Amino acid sequence: MVGRRARLRWVHLVLGGALLMPYWLLSVVLLGALNPAQGPARQTLMQLLALFTSLPMAAATALVPTVRGLEGAAARALCTAARPEELATGPARAWPARWRTALWFVLHVFFGGVVAGMSLAGTPFAVVLILNLDGVRDFVGFWEDRFPGWMVTGPALGAAVLLLITLTNAGCGALLARLAPALLGPTPEERLVAAERRATVLAQRNRLARELHDSVGHALSAVGIQASAAARVLRSNPDFAAEALQAIEETARAAVAELDSVLGLLREEDPEAAGPAGPTLAGLDDLLRQLARTGVTVEAELAPGLAGLPAPVSREAYRIVQEGLTNVLRHAGPAPAGLRVGLAGDRLEIELTNPLGTTRPSRPGGGRGLRGIGERATALRGGSTAGPSPDGTTWRLAVWLPVGGTA
C-alpha cells in the first residue's frame, strides 16, 4: 500500500488522470453549452456527469493502433503487472486487440481521474483536518453530531481521508495490474504468429548448427588424424609427412570455404532467402579421397543417377554421409568402412558400416552427429537408424530419404 510498487502505480494512475483532462474539459464545455443557466449544485452535477461522457471519447481515440504500444510500455514500467513480459509491445493491428486496448484505456483514465482527483483535493483537505484549523470546525461538528461517542476529531478525520486515498490507489492499481495481461497482452493470433516466428528462428539455428558441426567438425577430425600421422613418420618417411601436410592444407582450405558459406547465411536477414549452401553427392569422390589420406579406406557402392537427384536431397545426403564417415574416423580410427548409396523406387537409401573400435573412447560432449543426421532425415520426411550389429562387432548407420523430399 505504501511501498515502491504503490508509488509507481500511483504515478501510473495520476498519468491516467492527466490523459483524461482534455476529454473531461471538452465534455464540460459541451454540457455547459447545452445547459447555460446552472446553479452551483447543478454545475457540480454536470461536472460529475462530464466524467462519464468523456469516457466514450477516450475509447474512440484508443482505437488508434499505436495506443496499445504506448499503454503497454507505461503499464510495464509503472503498473508493475505480475507478468510484464506478456504485455504487447507493438501496435494493435486487429480489431479485437483494438477493442481490448480501448477498454484498458477507459479503465486507466477513469481510475486515474478518481485517484488523481482524490490525491489533489483530498490530501490538502486531510492536512487541514489534521492541523485542526478553525475553518474545519463546522465540518468536524457535523460528523460529531451524527456519530456521537466515536471520538470524531479533525486529526482522526484527516487520517481517515488519507487512508481512503491510500486504499483507493492500492485497489485501482492492483485491479489494473491484474487486467493488464488480459487487455494489453497479445491476441491468440499474435501468439500463434510469434510461436511460428520462434519456431522458424529455432529451425534456422539448428540448420546452421548442423552445417557447422558437419563441415567444420569433419575437417578438424581429418586434420587431427593427418597431423598425428605426419608427426609419427616425420623423420622416417618425409614424403608421407609432406603428403599429409598437403592434405591438411587442402582440408583446411575446403573447411574455410564451407565456413564462409555457412557464416554468410548468418548475415542474411532471411537465411532461407539466401538459399542453402554446401556440396552435393557429386563431391563424394573428393570426400572419399580425403578420408583415404587419413587411413580410412571406404568400399563405396554408388548407384548411377545420383547426379540427377533434387538439390535439397543431394545436399542433405552428402552431409549425412560426411557425418557418418567422420564418426568412423573419430570412434573407429583408420578402419575400413563400407558405404552404399542407392535408389530404391522413390527413395534414396544410405547405408554405412564399420567395425566397432575399442581403443578410441567417445569425445566428451559428443553425440550431436547422430542427432543431426536424424534431424536432416526428418526434415526431408525420411528416417534413420543407427546401432551395433547383434554380434557387437559392426556399427551400422542406415538412412532413407524420399527422392522428392523438401525441407
pLDDT digits (tens, 9 = 90+) for 102-144: 999 999 999 999 999 999 999 998 888 888 776 677 777 777 7
User: What pLDDT, on a 0 to 100 scale, did the predictor assign at position 276?
Assistant: 52
Q: What is the pLDDT of residues 258-269, one digit of tens each?
A: 777 777 766 665
pLDDT greater at residue 381 or residue 365: 381
Q: How far apart are CA 296 and CA 289, in angstroms?
A: 9
User: What pLDDT, on a 0 to 100 scale, did the predictor assign at position 152?
Assistant: 73
Q: How far apart are CA 190 and CA 397, in angstroms?
A: 42
Of the chain, the end-to-end C-alpha distance in Å amounts to 56
pLDDT band at 37 (very low <50, low <70, confident <90, very high): low
Residue with cell 491516467: 16
pTM over 0.75: no
Burial (CB < 10 A; 0-12, 13-18, 19+), residue 266, is exposed
Q: Which three cell numbers stand for residue 243?
A: 603428403
User: Which run of H or E residues covers position 280?
Assistant: none
**Exposure class string for 202-229: b at 16+ Cβ within 10 A, else e:** eebeebeebbebbbebbbebbbebbeeb
pLDDT greater at residue 154 or residue 6: 6
Phi, psi of 385 (to 5 degrees): -135, 150
pLDDT greater at residue 1 or residue 149: 1
**Exposure class string for 347-380: b at 16+ Cβ within 10 A, else e:** bbbbbbbbbeeeeeeeeeeeeebbebbbbbbebb
pLDDT greater at residue 157 or residue 264: 157
Instruction: Find, among 346, 329, 348, the residue nearest to 398 by Cα.
Output: 348
pLDDT band at 165 (very low <50, low <70, confident <90, very high): very high
Measured at the alpha carbon of residue 202, what is the angle toward residues 73 and 264, in degrees to the nearest 5? 105
Q: Where are the beta strands (DSSP E) in 124-240?
A: none
- In one letter, which amino acid is 237? N
Q: How far apart are CA 312 and CA 380, in angstroms?
A: 8
pLDDT greater at residue 287 or residue 59: 59
Q: Which three cell numbers stand for residue 320?
A: 549425412
Asked whether the predicted pLDDT for residue 177 surpasses 70, the reply is yes
User: What pLDDT, on a 0 to 100 scale, did the predictor assign at position 365?
Assistant: 43
User: Which run of H or E residues covers position 186?
Assistant: none
User: What pLDDT, on a 0 to 100 scale, did the predictor assign at position 268?
Assistant: 60
pLDDT band at 221 (very low <50, low <70, confident <90, very high): confident
User: What pLDDT, on a 0 to 100 scale, did the predictor assign at position 8?
Assistant: 93
With both helix axes pointing from N to C terminus, report the angle between 95-117 and 66-74 in degrees, rounded to the nearest 10: 40
- Give the three-class secondary structure for 388: strand
Please list the residues that pair with 330 across neighbouring strands: none
Q: Domains of the chain by range and CATH?
A: 4-186 (no CATH), 193-402 (3.30.565.10)
What is the chain's mean pLDDT, rounded? 83
**What own/partner pairs with CB < 8 Å and gap ≥ 24 does 360-365 have?**
360/330, 360/331, 360/332, 360/333, 362/331, 363/330
User: What pLDDT, on a 0 to 100 scale, did the predictor assign at position 362?
Assistant: 47
Considering only the C-alpha atoms of the chain, give the largest distance between any 2 of them, rounded to a whole number of Å. Answer: 117
User: What pLDDT, on a 0 to 100 scale, did the predictor assign at position 166?
Assistant: 94
Residues 313-336 have a mean pLDDT of 84
Share of the chain above pLDDT 70, in %: 88
Q: With contact defined as beta carbons under 8 Å apart, do 163 and 130 qualify?
A: no
User: What pLDDT, on a 0 to 100 scale, did the predictor assign at position 33?
Assistant: 83
User: What pLDDT, on a 0 to 100 scale, did the predictor assign at position 19?
Assistant: 95
pLDDT greater at residue 333 or residue 337: 337
User: What pLDDT, on a 0 to 100 scale, did the predictor assign at position 364?
Assistant: 43
Q: With contact defined as beta carbons under 8 Å apart, do 78 and 50 qualify?
A: no
User: What pLDDT, on a 0 to 100 scale, did the predictor assign at position 231?
Assistant: 84
Asked whether the predicted pLDDT for residue 60 surpasses 80, the reply is yes
Q: Within 10 Å of residue 30's Cβ, how many Cβ atoms?
A: 13
Q: What is the pLDDT of residues 17-34, one digit of tens each?
A: 999 999 999 998 888 888
Asked whether the predicted pLDDT for residue 363 surpasses 60, the reply is no
Residues 190-216 have a mean pLDDT of 79
Lowest mean pLDDT among 223-237, 263-277, 294-308: 263-277
Asked whether the predicted pLDDT for residue 349 surpasses 90, the reply is yes
- Give the three-class secondary structure for 369: helix
Q: With contact defined as beta carbons under 8 Å apart, do 390 and 370 qualify?
A: no
Phi, psi of 149 (to 5 degrees): 85, 0
User: What pLDDT, on a 0 to 100 scale, did the predictor assign at position 151?
Assistant: 67
Q: How far apart are CA 130 and CA 117, in angstroms?
A: 20
User: What pLDDT, on a 0 to 100 scale, did the predictor assign at position 366?
Assistant: 47
Asked whether the predicted pLDDT for residue 325 surpasses 90, the reply is no
In Å, how far are 197, 270, 363, 369 from 266, measured between CA atoms?
16, 9, 28, 21
Chain length of the chain: 407
Asked whether the predicted pLDDT for residue 407 surpasses 70, the reply is no
Asked whether the predicted pLDDT for residue 63 surpasses 50, the reply is yes
User: Which run of H or E residues covers position 64?
Assistant: none
